[in-house]
Structure 1
């Protein structure tokens, strides 16, 4: 444990009145020589070659997580993680010089639980001596394009916590290691820096970018990963590995490889030591020419290797011996067993200056026609389910804290949040939410999320029973987006509990499937709420098939308190047939007090969007198109579109229909224009009475393939905004980056794919703007998109492909299901807002948060219990608009993990891009905060003890002025884009407090 923890514990003992459970893990003996102290000596006058034995173990890809761990289904892929760990530990014990790194805590955690206490002690000794070292350390190696930052932080926290609690400070990784993700996000680098990592290594970057960096010796650089956080807070040293994550050619000695072993008996005819040494020296010299120092790194391993570790280590021992023996003959090459952190330490000792990078590493291409931009959208249904699951998990975590032990064991049984946390952590893997796994594996990820949610439902039901005083059964309706909820469809009287996981009040539209034509809706105070009944659309009836029977939807707006719930009662007033719509006609305009939306009467398409508050008006047309996916059979390249790669065979997409059949519905709660473009494409343009955003609810599928053509379906917004080929996307849901067509900020791009090469990940929002207008699109899941034409923004919604893209998954992205055997139907929402560029963030930041953390609805049948508490807020007051409560979760029996973040960038808002101070003792309504201590972002080090390497960029910048410490120990000041993490000791207040 870092020096000073005992002193901190003594101080906290006074504050807390009890012993603090250390987040940084157990105390270790001072005799441990892990980390940088365990590194083998190098030779300053030689080229030092750092050999890094490693395995890359996907947490699901071609096989499920369980199949990979146990080595099941080897007919798909030979891989068994349990045998890898068994074999590596055995081989490390045979030679103290050997090293091994391990990455995926989800697998190691499973293996560890199965070991005897003596084996666990043996492994702890290996870790204490630095012979077995953990790198990265998250539950998985997350994807970087399609993951939301909140879920990434959670999965990293889970993995790192296990390592700390198991191994103490020797289990804490010093290096982030993302060798396989398909492009790299700036926000990930920022998070890794704030988690205390000294450096970051990855294997994949654009082939043109790599060529330029090799020429300029800039494959190692300093990544400045935030334009708001004061350097070096989000600065991260970043290294690009020479062979992806594979061994040099000819030097793979795994049982899965065919390279010859080192045959070192001189009496044998096929003695090959001289050949091996010569080839190795040549490769080392070639690699050294494109790196900056006299240290180079070689990854010795690959996917699921080291199942028979003896093969690797026996040959690596020989390689080191025979290459180093050449030093007696004048060779200047020194080979050693090493780890990424030991290599990083030598780069730091070089005391050099490093190239500075401010953008990201998207999009990634490994050849001229091979852009890995398809996975930004692949498996859109799974991507949405993962996002909803994250929202449900945060609600589950919050209620567990606000209610305490009763939430876990209550009237509805035993519930837990841990099952859901693990399922969500696994879902962040770079072959999970990315959509790049086999179909049966995607099904397994979804099954895990569903199982986790079942466990959380018990916890949520117990919590709401405790808070409300009512133990009535709670019903969960997870298919409201397709108008299915058996309770509301059949009951004449029921209540709706609306839990809001955001730390500010939320106004939210509720749509419930019903069969009556008039209802009475009352809020928690018994006041009548305006509600309207609209007919269920034909598109919805087609999607839900026989899963529901409601003919109508009851629509009303709810107002939910911060970090709490409110209750609405619903009573049937009048049964009967559905209300009549206003008929099939082309609408001219729909509007509320904020927005006016006009339609072309001839085509039925959108024609303009007007902000009535700011007197803004833009032309806006929107339609649906599809790109014909390449089958790989053309003169330029044989690369087809697939789960990873987007490659249309033409730059001009096919329009699905130039006109839309329309139906308009208008009432006091909602106005909607229902549009039909084709039997497989429909949309509802929807404007609620109190909304500043226009909703586009799209339904796409089954994508037809009877013409034997794979299709990439997009929607395109064409506007009068003068964009100069520039648009903006978020990075993992946080900071915004500028994008420009056919341009990369740090290298000259030779564009070979004018569509796919201009697609970027959109995690929560994208926008186009000029000096006067900004149109922002908030998405409900991760999607790919671009601005191919000036004033235009296109977003890919669905993909159905007929060929594999030859990147390993081995099957085409052609999703079907039991419900949709003819092809998957996907439904989603885009939210559009029109603002002045100077104030747009004040609208789209909170809007995006509402979509990510949406209210959870639960239902009870019959009359409300008159004695129950119908409203509750876990906060004494709403947090300021700039502050987001990112994490509230149970850490230990009376310890709570809290993260608060400033959700604006420094330049975004005149109002909200300012420091904000929060008093922690005035935060919660149901909890007393007895003490607190600040941690790093991943909660595995005390903040004031987090020390990282300092690096010198080639271009020095004047640092910002330092700020004074907070005036009160209970007051926390957040500056733009800052996330602060705290461990709180709390006690639950009694109802009489």
Structure 2
């Protein structure tokens, strides 16, 4: 019988004397005496202690799908079967209590666990309680760090850690973050890991120049200060760089996939090699010790999908430990032991040293002079966009599950759930998923999983909206509005448009619906007429639809939606027939388009942008924009044979090819929108769009099929050239949160020898980038993760699409040459860039909410016919709008009576004079449909109570770290948020 352990998911509440429900009952964890740090083998002072860490790295999809990897299917692609790894490891751990093993990817372990008998589950629990099987990292997957959004990373970590906590209690909680394979490392990830309670972080990949310098200086272990806003040590994380990536030392791989000879230890048999093995091992260990700081070193004994036959590894590791340690009797000062990353970390902490401090990130990553892993920042741009809008949809689904209560999961439209999309999104965060570095059939599988998750959430959303509105009319979802496809709006004479806003503040959002009529009347929830216009569908949109829709026009109008709520608009056809003359586009460039906020001018000769003005601040900058492509290297180069591929960006010239110096133009101007439609070539077009009430200029780009008839792979960019004096500096966000400064041909922590002037200056842009001088700041908000740089002063370039003809020899084994059934000649991708111009001092007040609206965009659904008079046309789940600095990051059902809530201060310290101030939110005055009966604060990943979370403290070489000064909350119910702070709560709730 398992020892009962206390977990934060047992939510018990006390009744306060005041008569309100309060904090959960605290229980002392009855933890096993041997798990965690207590389970570590003893080390020997005065000796070099070598920590051997048996591990497997199991990609949650890469060359095979996640299912194929788990079952060991399609071994013709790659021999790998995760279920057999776990079977074999558990069997071998039971044979020797000294043995250790770490496991990382909860997505796989969860599948395996569900298939085990009760006896096997109890056996595994015992191994975990004794620290012999230890979980590290513990997220659903090992996420990518360049192309993921922080909200999706937090979600997938929470899912994995919750399963471990529910299943194993205290002993299942990982102490160490472990990102051994991602291709560069983001500062925001380190900040999140610190706030999740991890004591340390280990990774395998960093720039070859950075590693060389750190080896010489013995700075491969450091304290990473991962936020400029959060008070240390809140976002400080001890970080170590592993010596061999995540592989064993050369000559010491004993898996069935390896070719190294086993230890042959019978002296009576031929090829006895113990002395040779021991000598080589001691030489490697002593060499490794020279580049690390303590008398402890770590060796990763395993690699991709290893330990399917764990006996091979453990039999040889047992011998290695025995024979190396026998040398101690002859004066050897090397001690070898089975260990884990947390046991190694504990010894580093016991050393009580000071550690170098790092404040930037680890991008871009290069493994040699011409091999910069900056292509995957953009690879598979369609999948990157689908992942991003799926994240938005999941947050909406989560919120409506809470607001709807039980009827959301089982209501008039059937049984719906959010779990399917949660798991699909969690898998999509993997470093070979949203990164775009998987095989094509695996990318298709990720997209299929997301689509299946959408279908489950659509039932849930329909149930909730039906309950909240009182209307049982079937709800229609149109997922291709970006290419003007929606069968209902194309055919119906009367329909309603429901706009759900997942943000905690009201939004104004432009709606574009495919229609075949020429005049419509639209009324808002209060019955007031709404201005609308009908314009013809552009040639580019008609071409990209490929027969999936037949609307000839688009109906344009602006909607308003309340916070965490919806508005319903009624639409009625007034007139069919030819479009009115005033809606027809004019075949010429306008001199300017403007609204009350912005003015945009065009060059009448070229049809291109020529300036952008902010009319509120009286700012004007010269601004041109055009499309270019870099010729992808084919490896036939005197400097290097490296080719561009899914991972690596390597143009064969520093000068991109312009697609066209002029654009063919059509102009539309009406009371809702002004747009300039530009055609640069048969495969590149754009709409420059300015809505009446917008403070941002929209550039809607359509690229593809990228031509390859000339046998040249192409990397397509949009480049903005301005009069801003940026002095070689630009700024990018980190996973959608804090902003980092980037300087051309420069790295903050070492003297860069730049060998790739373009690829070596590309960085991940997750939601926004900007350039600025003393007077002006030009910000670009993206609708997905993309790569970009500022190669010339005053310039920003964003890579939009990649089509390549060669594999870059990093393992994926196929070129990044995307096609589909609809686009067999090459994928067409459409997206948006939003531009804003502001004084630097107030720019964040515009671009932060703008980026947030793109990340969490409204969900638009439709019902056909006349609405019933009793239908509730407007609803907000909040009692009041939250302050502009506060973002409602998470509202998600936790169990039957409790809700997980995350509140976030979305401004950095000193970023905004108005909004970079502490702000207070009252939890009892938050929701309009829920009574909050109890509250308890948790850590960021919701697997520990906040006031019980303790982490190892570390000393930086720059001096002692100041302790965080929280300043208590005004009351139990009032939450104070400081800049960049995220606070996580478990709420006990009751539906009103």
1:731 corresponding residue in structure 2? 734
1:970 aligns with 2:973: yes
Residue pair 1:2, 1:945 contacting (<8 A) in 2 also: no
Q: Distance in 2 between matches of 1:92 and 1:7?
A: 31
1:36 aligns with 2:9: no
Question: Are the structure 2 counterparts of residues 31 and 161 from structure 1 closer, same or farther at C-alpha, using a change threshold of 3 Å?
Answer: closer
1:834 aligns with 2:841: no
1:222 corresponding residue in structure 2? 223
Question: Are the structure 2 counterparts of residues 283 and 114 from structure 1 closer, same or farther at C-alpha, using a change threshold of 3 Å?
Answer: same
1:141 aligns with 2:169: no
1:432 corresponding residue in structure 2? 433
3-state SS in 2 of match to 1:470: coil
Residue 582 of structure 1: CA displacement?
3.7
1:717 aligns with 2:712: no
Residue 33 of structure 1: CA displacement?
1.2
Residue pair 1:181, 1:430 contacting (<8 A) in 2 also: yes
Residue pair 2:589, 2:666 contacting (<8 A) in 1 also: yes
1:350 aligns with 2:387: no
Q: Distance in 2 between matches of 1:555 and 1:204?
A: 49
1:935 corresponding residue in structure 2? 938
Of residues 819, 823, 826 in structure 1, which corresponds to 2:826? 823
- Aligned pairs for 1:376-391 within 5 A: 376-391=377-392
1:322 aligns with 2:323: yes
Q: Distance in 1 between matches of 2:936 and 2:115?
A: 34
Residue pair 1:16, 1:985 contacting (<8 A) in 2 also: no
1:244 corresponding residue in structure 2? 245
Deviations 1:163-212 (A, max 9, x none): 00000000000000000000000000000000000000000000000000
Q: Distance in 1 between matches of 2:323 and 2:43?
A: 17
3-state SS in 1 of match to 2:690: strand
Bigger CA drift: 29-38 or 754-763? 29-38
Residue 967 of structure 1: CA displacement?
1.9
TM-score, scaled relative to structure 1: 0.98
Residue 896 of structure 1: CA displacement?
0.2
3-state SS in 1 of match to 2:92: helix
Q: Distance in 2 between matches of 1:955 and 1:587?
A: 58
Residue pair 2:378, 2:799 contacting (<8 A) in 1 also: yes
Question: Are the structure 2 counterparts of residues 233 and 305 from structure 1 closer, same or farther at C-alpha, using a change threshold of 3 Å?
Answer: same
- Aligned pairs for 1:92-241 within 5 A: 92-241=93-242
3-state SS in 2 of match to 1:732: coil
Residue 586 of structure 1: CA displacement?
1.9
2:868 corresponding residue in structure 1? 865
Residue 7 of structure 1: CA displacement?
13
Q: Distance in 1 between matches of 2:970 and 2:390?
A: 39
* Structure 2: stretches of 5+ with no match in the other structure: none
Deviations 1:618-664 (A, max 9, x none): 00000000000000011000000000000000000000000000000
Of residues 773, 776, 796 in structure 2, which corresponds to 1:770? 773
- Aligned pairs for 1:526-605 within 5 A: 526-580=527-581, 581-605=584-608
Question: Are the structure 2 counterparts of residues 480 and 10 from structure 1 closer, same or farther at C-alpha, using a change threshold of 3 Å?
Answer: closer
Q: Distance in 2 between matches of 1:633 and 1:6?
A: 58
Deviations 1:566-622 (A, max 9, x none): 000000011012344242112210000000000000000000000000000000000
* Structure 1: stretches of 5+ with no match in the other structure: none
Q: Distance in 1 between matches of 2:505 and 2:737?
A: 19
Residue 961 of structure 1: CA displacement?
7.6
Question: Are the structure 2 counterparts of residues 945 and 235 from structure 1 closer, same or farther at C-alpha, using a change threshold of 3 Å?
Answer: same
1:70 aligns with 2:74: no
3-state SS in 2 of match to 1:891: strand
Bigger CA drift: 536-545 or 581-590? 581-590
Deviations 1:223-277 (A, max 9, x none): 0000000000000000000000000000000000000000000001200000000
Q: Distance in 2 between matches of 1:869 and 1:503?
A: 20
1:910 corresponding residue in structure 2? 913
Q: Distance in 2 between matches of 1:4 and 1:252?
A: 39
Deviations 1:297-336 (A, max 9, x none): 0000000000000000000000000000000000000000
Deviations 1:475-496 (A, max 9, x none): 0000000000000000000000
Residue 964 of structure 1: CA displacement?
2.5
Question: Are the structure 2 counterparts of residues 694 and 247 from structure 1 closer, same or farther at C-alpha, using a change threshold of 3 Å?
Answer: same
Residue pair 2:23, 2:935 contacting (<8 A) in 1 also: no
1:802 aligns with 2:805: yes
Q: Distance in 1 between matches of 2:475 and 2:33?
A: 53
1:876 corresponding residue in structure 2? 879
Q: Distance in 2 between matches of 1:596 and 1:617?
A: 9
1:761 aligns with 2:764: yes
1:292 aligns with 2:293: yes
- Aligned pairs for 1:546-695 within 5 A: 546-580=547-581, 581-695=584-698
Residue 968 of structure 1: CA displacement?
1.1
How many residue pairs were aligned?
987
Q: Distance in 2 between matches of 1:645 and 1:516?
A: 48
1:922 corresponding residue in structure 2? 925
Q: Distance in 2 between matches of 1:582 and 1:626?
A: 29
Q: Distance in 2 between matches of 1:366 and 1:965?
A: 47
3-state SS in 2 of match to 1:838: helix
Q: Distance in 2 between matches of 1:15 and 1:297?
A: 55
Residue 956 of structure 1: CA displacement?
1.9
Q: Distance in 2 between matches of 1:548 and 1:515?
A: 11
Question: Are the structure 2 counterparts of residues 6 and 377 from structure 1 closer, same or farther at C-alpha, using a change threshold of 3 Å?
Answer: closer
Residue pair 1:564, 1:873 contacting (<8 A) in 2 also: yes
1:278 corresponding residue in structure 2? 279
Q: Distance in 1 between matches of 2:626 and 2:823?
A: 25
Of residues 703, 708, 724 in structure 2, which corresponds to 1:705? 708
Residue 11 of structure 1: CA displacement?
4.5
Deviations 1:650-708 (A, max 9, x none): 00000000000000000000000000000000000000000000000000000000000
Q: Distance in 1 between matches of 2:40 and 2:289?
A: 21
Q: Distance in 1 between matches of 2:17 and 2:206?
A: 51
3-state SS in 1 of match to 2:841: coil
Residue pair 1:551, 1:578 contacting (<8 A) in 2 also: no
3-state SS in 2 of match to 1:898: strand
Residue 32 of structure 1: CA displacement?
4.0
Q: Distance in 2 between matches of 1:825 and 1:121?
A: 52
Deviations 1:521-568 (A, max 9, x none): 100011000000011000000100100000000000000000000000
Q: Distance in 2 between matches of 1:372 and 1:713?
A: 17
Residue pair 2:7, 2:169 contacting (<8 A) in 1 also: no
Q: Distance in 2 between matches of 1:854 and 1:10?
A: 36
Q: Distance in 2 between matches of 1:366 and 1:769?
A: 31
Computed over aligned residues only, the root mean square deviation of the Cα atoms, in angstroms, reads 1.6
3-state SS in 1 of match to 2:707: coil
Residue pair 2:46, 2:333 contacting (<8 A) in 1 also: yes
Q: Distance in 2 between matches of 1:754 and 1:821?
A: 34
1:987 corresponding residue in structure 2? 990
3-state SS in 1 of match to 2:453: helix
Q: Distance in 1 between matches of 2:854 and 2:527?
A: 28
Residue pair 1:523, 1:568 contacting (<8 A) in 2 also: yes
Residue pair 1:371, 1:757 contacting (<8 A) in 2 also: yes
Residue pair 1:99, 1:132 contacting (<8 A) in 2 also: yes
Residue 390 of structure 1: CA displacement?
0.3
3-state SS in 2 of match to 1:659: coil
2:890 corresponding residue in structure 1? 887
Question: Are the structure 2 counterparts of residues 5 and 186 from structure 1 closer, same or farther at C-alpha, using a change threshold of 3 Å?
Answer: closer
